[in-house]
Structure 1
């Protein structure tokens, strides 16, 4: 009995050191040497300051002001915001673009709350982009414009979504539409391995490119 206990304790300690310390440290070291940027979360820096990650979506919002010019707050005391029209907007997020706890909405096709969520998202998208694209209809709104991603922080939108928003961006920023289209193309990621999925536009990098263009 004593021998078995000692053997078990040694095994636990050995595998804890091997798999709990040595293996993670080895993988971390290899990643830092082979893929240092990716290992650190693919950060994006501007003027030496980290402003985001190319793997994560961000909220591009403005505070809603009341009649006195002060930021409005909801019943819970949180600031009320609205999309900033000069930036491309990522797809809706179940996590409010918080990468500390990523998850999806888990809404089923027959779930009552899904109907109201998609209705509200569709209206918000049309309200934001409709004034710059008078012919925009419900049927033309891309699916990714009103649905959340699996993680809630996916920075990519579809080509159709970007093309619709480009008209707003060009008008608000007073840029030629061709210039915005060029930036979209430059920030489009292709299919994984050339075969899987569809090309997507990285909104985080695209908005930074827009700011650089406006300098």
Structure 2
């Protein structure tokens, strides 16, 4: 009896692996490539035919001429062919860790030093922390208003 149940279970497992793992993926990818090719390929920004970034990943600015976005966890490394590659990921630091606390304290000092005329008591959290993915550049209206004295 066990052999019959096990073989049917294995058959169903194989069927669903093919249907859900391969079939669904190919169908959704195909529809996305036809209907939304720009978005499906990462919303890449090209300058003179060369990819320089993505509209979906923010750039880190820390000069006086730009509004600062969220902290980005992007590492840029040089590949074997000499091309630069960017990898993004969450930091995976626990909010209870000492390393995380030191990192946040350093960011708070940096943003306060850059915005000495800001009249808010607390630095908006999204200016000193990453998003869950480590890549989202969006900031809150409070974070934008915090930077207005520096940009005015």
TM range (shorter): 0.5 to 0.7
- Measure, in 2, the Cα distance between the counterparts of 1:141 and 1:158: 12
Equivalent of 1:106 in 65, 75, 94: 94
State the match for 2:123 in structure 1: 141
Shift of 1:146: 2.0
Aligned partner (choices 112, 119, 138) of residue 156 of structure 1 = 138
Q: 2:67 aligns with which of 67, 88, 105?
A: 88
Moved over 6 A (4+): none
Indicate how the Cα distance of structure 1 residues 104 and 53 shifts in structure 2: closer, same or farther if over 3 A, else same. Answer: farther
Alpha carbon RMSD of aligned pairs, Å? 3.3
Aligned pairs, number: 141
- Distance in 2 separating the partners of 1:7 and 1:160: 58
Shift of 1:10: 4.0
Deviation at 1:55, TM superposition (A): 1.9
Gaps of 5+ in 2: 76-85
Higher relative contact order (CA 8 A, sep 6+): 2
List alignment gaps of at least 5 residues for structure 1.
61-82, 170-176, 178-215
Quote the Cα distance in structure 1 between the aligned partners of 2:105 and 2:8: 62
How many Å apart are 1:20 and its aligned residue?
A: 2.0
Q: Could you tell me how far apart the structure 2 residues matched to 1:167 and 1:48 are?
A: 38
